[in-house]
């Protein structure tokens, strides 16, 4: 902030079409903003076998899926997921503090990244471009969006305004029971591995549910999903057997309507240089 106040240089992370688009709707960039946190994630919770409960009996041959969003005491990687939420939210909060110090009305084109630094340490970074309206009215809290500048301009023309970033994160673990192992090793056959299907469906559904809850907490009327991710790995909680773990993420921008005007049907991709 001292550099921003003393230097007088207004930097931006937006590309040229994005910068000109937000400026055209009265939100010129005033500077790039950043928030970060280095977090040690050591205790990740119950990462053992997902094999428990009546459905996991050896006679049935099926295990069960344990998710971080469950209320069960076997709620999988809940401390790990809580740590991820804290990392993202802290980075975004600190980025927002910089934007507020600049007197910004919003932050556009936010980029979230996580870097593994070794020894269970991770750096969460939020980068974006702060924009400020030229008029006398300003919101009490800047909006935040990961949408590009041109998309923000289209939303405003259509009567929608970005509100905040929303995200849903879930981790689930499922025991590789006898039926799953048999399907996964069905040599010479093409068959569904039902246990793995259940695992990825379960974790994706839980992440989407958490995303919707985040949207509701923001008081928004809708959201645009920008990315849905899935990561799967296997672990061996005990000698002679293994489990599979899946992590799903959903990120997007929440929206609120301020007008019922018609949406633009196309974008002007070439600016005329001649006088109109």
Q: Full-prediction pTM beyond 0.85?
A: no
Q: Is a pLDDT exceeding 60 seen at residue 74? A: no
What is the dihedral sign for C-alpha 104, 110, 111, 112?
positive
230-256 pLDDT, tens digit per residue, is 999 887 766 667 788 899 999 999 999
pLDDT for res 11: 80
Rounded to 10°, the helix 149-157/16-24 angle is: 30
For the cut 90, the answer to whether the pLDDT of residue 128 exceeds it is yes
Residue 247 CA to residue 245 CA, distance in Å, equals: 7
CA atoms within 13 A on the CB side of 233: 7
Helix (H, G, I), strand (E, B) or coil at 169: strand
Helix (H) or strand (E) holding 256: strand 241-257
pLDDT at 81 over 60: yes
Average pLDDT over residues 129-153: 90
Q: pLDDT tens, 8-55? A: 667 888 889 999 999 999 999 999 999 999 999 987 776 555 554 444
65: which strand partners? Answer: 174
Q: Residue 223 and residue 12: Cα distance in Å, rounded?
A: 25
What is the SS3 assignment for 146?
coil
What mean pLDDT is predicted for residues 69-86? Answer: 74
For residue 44, the model assigns a pLDDT of 74
Q: Measured between alpha carbons, how far is 90 from 63 in angstroms, rounded to an integer?
A: 37
Q: What share of residues in the chain are helix, strand, coil (percent, to 5)?
A: 30, 35, 35
What pLDDT is stored for residue 7 in this prediction? 65
| 2-257 is a CATH 3.30.110.70 domain | yes
- pLDDT on residue 230: 96
């Amino acid at each position: 902030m001292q550099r921003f106040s003393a230097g007088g240089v207004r930097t931006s992370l937006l590309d040229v079409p994005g910068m000109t688009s937000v400026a055209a709707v009265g939100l010129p960039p005033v500077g790039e903003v950043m928030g970060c946190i280095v977090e040690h994630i050591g205790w990740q919770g119950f990462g053992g076998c997902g094999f428990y409960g009546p459905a996991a009996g050896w006679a049935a041959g099926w295990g069960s899926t344990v998710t971080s969003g469950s209320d069960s005491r076997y709620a999988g990687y809940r401390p790990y997921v809580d740590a991820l939420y804290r990392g993202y939210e802290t980075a975004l909060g600190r980025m927002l503090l910089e934007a507020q110090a600049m007197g910004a009305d919003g932050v556009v084109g936010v980029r979230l990244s996580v870097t593994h630094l070794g020894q269970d340490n991770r750096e969460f970074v939020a980068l974006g471009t702060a924009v400020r309206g030229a008029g006398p009215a300003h919101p009490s809290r800047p909006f935040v969006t990961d949408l590009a500048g041109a998309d923000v301009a289209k939303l405003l023309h259509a009567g929608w305004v970005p509100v905040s970033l929303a995200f849903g994160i879930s981790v689930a673990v499922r025991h590789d029971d006898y039926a799953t192992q048999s399907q996964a090793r069905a040599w010479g056959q093409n068959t569904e591995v039902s246990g793995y299907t259940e695992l990825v469906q379960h974790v994706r559904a839980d992440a989407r549910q958490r995303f919707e809850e985040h949207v509701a907490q923001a008081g928004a009327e809708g959201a645009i999903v920008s990315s849905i991710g899935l990561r799967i790995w296997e672990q061996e909680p005990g000698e002679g057997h293994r489990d599979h773990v899946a992590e799903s993420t959903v990120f997007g921008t929440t929206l609120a309507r301020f007008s019922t005007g018609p949406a633009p049907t196309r974008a002007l991709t070439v600016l005329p240089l001649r006088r109109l």
